[in-house]
Chain A
Amino acid sequence: QVQLQESGPGLVESSQTLSLTCTVSGDSISSGAFYWAWIRQFPGKGLEWIGYISFTGDTFYNPSLESRAALSIDTSKSQFSLMLSSLTAADTAIYYCAGEESYSDRRLDPWGQGILVTVSS
């Protein structure tokens, strides 16, 4: 059973770049069964899909974030990462990593527990 765990800073300064990592356990990150996705949830509880990366390194971004987001993957460490640049207070959110089913329906399952990131001015 695949499990995911986010890690990274909980507080980042405005205009800086956020770097988060998700560690995959319980199955191979290279199985091909999943795209590896990031989603964030704002303080008002709204959810936003950020994008995903495949185990081969192919990426797909939400166009609204494409200019600031970058996804990468390190299969040797069973980790994938999100970098988000030019942060503002509006980027304050809980960031989740998740497995996005790759064969057909793209459902998001499982999810990590999430990490709260606060952008300070």
Chain B
Amino acid sequence: QSVLTQPPSVSGAPGQRVTISCTGSRSTIGAGYDVHWYQQRPGTAPKLLIYSNNIRPSGVPDRFSGSRSGASASLAISGLQAEDEAFYYCQSYDSNLSASGVFGTGTEVIVL
């Protein structure tokens, strides 16, 4: 029941820059709600990567950056590294669901 749409996969060679889009609607990102991003490696729980659209928690490399515009958001990874291979999920809230949390469909980043 994801209401935030992400591309199924993106790929890039080491050192390259990749971006992941997160498309919402007027009731989600377009309503002004914050967007958070999570990284999930195989067999582990999601880990907070970016919060409030563009803030990195302590310990997250500055290769990761986030932005939000209108009803969409994006995550950029610059200087791609092998360890960045993982699934990435955006998260926001939905006014149609009384501001319940909603997640993106998830994107697999493949390092070539």
Q: Hey, which bits of chain A sit against chain B, CB under 8 A?
A: 37, 39, 45-49, 51, 60-64, 96, 100, 104-114
Contacts and interface: CB of A to CB of B under 8 A. Distances in A.
Contacts of B51: 105, 107, 109
Interface residues of B, number: 25
Nearest to B36: A107
Given A47-B89, A60-B100, 6 more contacts: A39-B101, A63-B97, A63-B100, A106-B101, A108-B91, A112-B45
A35 to B, nearest CB: 10
A100 B36 CA distance: 12
Nearest to A107: B51
B103 A46 contact: yes
Contacts of B57: 109
B46 A49 contact: no
